[in-house]
């Protein structure tokens, strides 16, 4: 494994650490059986997104590489190859943990060169994946951001984020905080097979409800909408209805994309579970990683129409703002705009 590698990912995740800094661990608990953790001491934790990137943010923090949520379609799979790790099962079970992420971030935020730019988290892999339950890196990261009043956003599928509710509320009193939860569909059979390590969609939406009840507006990234499996009008309707019922401030649809690394793994899964769809996928994704524009527009229009019907608005891309601090005051009415969030998975 190339542990001394400096890797650039689509989100600009730079990792630089030496061979001597790696400690490998396994834990014999049901939750972590079959998973290997590679603990490293990173040399840098603030990553600048390459200028050519289409991402609506410039800086990211990623305390983990690999993700036990194991979504078959995960676009970050390819980043594991930069470390000579397998992008299939290896991505799901070989997790790199930057154990010094909190102290390093605090140090970098204190640097006179740091200008206090917005920092996006959960943009490469999920910072509230199961490993976070053991390593507890996010509390230190959030505390550093709070203490420096540095604006940030988090995108997650992890219910573990509620463990840090108090820190999020404290941060929201001094800076802009944007939270998004990702729920692409609500159908359980699809969820169990394509996102096998994630909390169920309704548990994720319960996170949205809890955050909203505490005055932290939370948007939903409806991603991915999976062609021919999660795009039936009834499924779109059920999902947008559930998202609206959760109190989400916005819904942003995003159709499945299949970049190298994810594409091979997803197509192998499709061949096992839905072989009759393989040819249709080959046609739909014949031009590359993205479904055709007409298909994307159709899904976006359908979701926006449903969002109107259920009284929830689409997100403004890339924006965030100060969230409502905890208080006993009446909560925001559904018609009022809420904080928005980044839009990536």
Please tell me the distance from the alpha carbon of residue 344 to that of residue 17, in angstroms, as a whole number.
27
Q: Quote the least distance from Cβ 46 to ligand SF4, whole Å.
A: 19
Please tell me the distance from the alpha carbon of residue 265 to that of residue 88, in angstroms, as a whole number.
6
> Among residues 69 and 146, whose Cβ is nearest to ligand SF4?
69
Q: In which residue are the tokens 């939270």 written?
A: 179
76 binds ligand SF4 (CB under 6 A): yes
Question: ω before 224 within 30° of 0 (cis)?
Answer: yes
Please tell me the distance from the alpha carbon of residue 60 to that of residue 41, in angstroms, as a whole number.
17
Touching ligand SF4, residues 112-141 (CB under 6 A): 125-126, 129
Stretch that binds ligand SF4, among 23-31, 67-75, 183-191, 303-311 (CB under 6 A): 67-75
Cβ atoms of 37 and 26 within 8 Å: the answer is yes
> Among residues 64 and 285, whose Cβ is nearest to ligand SF4?
64
Size of the site for ligand SF4 (CB under 6 A): 12
Q: In which residue are the tokens 């594409």 written?
A: 263
> What are the angstrom distances between the C-alpha of 297 and each of 62, 82, 222, 253, 255?
31, 33, 14, 10, 10
For 111, the token pair is: 């640097």
345 binds ligand SF4 (CB under 6 A): yes
Neighbours of 304 (CB within 10 A): 17
262 binds ligand SF4 (CB under 6 A): no
Give 132's strand partners.
none
Q: Quote the least distance from Cβ 318 to ligand SF4, whole Å.
A: 19
Interface residue with ligand SF4 among 80, 146, 157, 204 (CB under 6 A) is 157
Q: Quote the least distance from Cβ 91 to ligand SF4, whole Å.
A: 8
Q: Of 122, 213, 205, which Cα lies nearest the Cα of 165?
A: 213
Q: Quote the least distance from Cβ 301 to ligand SF4, whole Å.
A: 25
Touching ligand SF4, residues 159-198 (CB under 6 A): 198
Please tell me the distance from the alpha carbon of residue 53 to that of residue 231, in angstroms, as a whole number.
28
Please tell me the distance from the alpha carbon of residue 201 to that of residue 243, in angstroms, as a whole number.
10
> Among residues 78 and 157, whose Cβ is nearest to ligand SF4?
157
97 binds ligand SF4 (CB under 6 A): no
> Among residues 126 and 132, whose Cβ is nearest to ligand SF4?
126
What's the gap between Cα 204 and its chain centre?
A: 12
Interface residue with ligand SF4 among 69, 78, 130, 214 (CB under 6 A) is 69
Question: ω before 161 within 30° of 0 (cis)?
Answer: no
For 3, the token pair is: 């542990």
> Among residues 88 and 338, whose Cβ is nearest to ligand SF4?
88
Stretch that binds ligand SF4, among 38-46, 66-74, 239-247, 326-334 (CB under 6 A): 66-74
For 45, the token pair is: 């934790």
Stretch that binds ligand SF4, among 40-48, 62-70, 317-325, 334-342 (CB under 6 A): 62-70
> Among residues 59 and 128, whose Cβ is nearest to ligand SF4?
128
Touching ligand SF4, residues 293-332 (CB under 6 A): none
Residues that bind ligand SF4 (CB under 6 A): 67, 69-71, 74, 76, 125-126, 129, 157, 198, 345
């Amino acid at each position: 494994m190339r542990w001394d590698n400096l890797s650039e990912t689509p989100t600009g995740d730079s990792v630089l650490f030496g061979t001597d800094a790696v400690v490998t661990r396994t834990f014999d608990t049901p939750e972590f059986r079959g998973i290997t953790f590679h603990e490293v001491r990173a040399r840098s934790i603030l990553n600048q997104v390459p200028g050519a990137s289409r991402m609506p943010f410039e800086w990211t923090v990623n305390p983990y590489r690999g993700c036990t949520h194991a979504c078959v379609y995960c676009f970050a799979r390819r980043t594991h190859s930069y470390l000579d790790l397998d992008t299939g099962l290896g991505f799901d079970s070989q997790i790199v943990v930057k154990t010094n992420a909190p102290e390093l971030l605090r140090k970098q935020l204190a640097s006179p060169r740091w200008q206090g730019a917005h920092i996006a988290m959960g943009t490469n892999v999920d910072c509230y994946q199961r490993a976070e339950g053991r390593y507890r890196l996010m509390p230190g990261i959030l505390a550093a951001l709070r203490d420096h009043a540095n604006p940030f956003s988090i995108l997650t599928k992890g219910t573990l984020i509620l463990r840090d509710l108090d820190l999020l509320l404290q941060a929201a009193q001094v800076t802009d905080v944007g939270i998004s939860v990702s729920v692409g569909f609500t159908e359980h059979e699809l969820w169990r097979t394509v996102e096998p390590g994630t909390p169920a969609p309704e548990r994720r939406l319960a996170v949205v409800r809890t955050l909203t009840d505490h005055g932290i507006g939370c948007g939903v990234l409806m991603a991915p909408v999976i062609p021919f499996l999660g795009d039936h009008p009834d499924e779109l309707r059920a999902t947008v209805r559930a998202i609206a019922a959760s109190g989400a401030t916005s819904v942003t649809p995003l159709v499945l994309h299949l970049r190298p690394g994810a594409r091979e793994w997803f197509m192998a899964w499709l061949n096992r579970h839905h072989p009759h769809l393989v040819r249709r996928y080959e046609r739909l994704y014949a031009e590359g990683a993205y479904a055709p524009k007409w298909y994307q527009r159709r899904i976006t229009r359908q979701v926006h129409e449903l969002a109107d019907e259920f009284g929830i608005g689409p997100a403004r891309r890339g924006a965030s703002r100060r969230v409502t601090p905890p208080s006993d005051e009446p909560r925001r009415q559904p018609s009022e705009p809420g904080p928005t969030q980044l839009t990536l998975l």
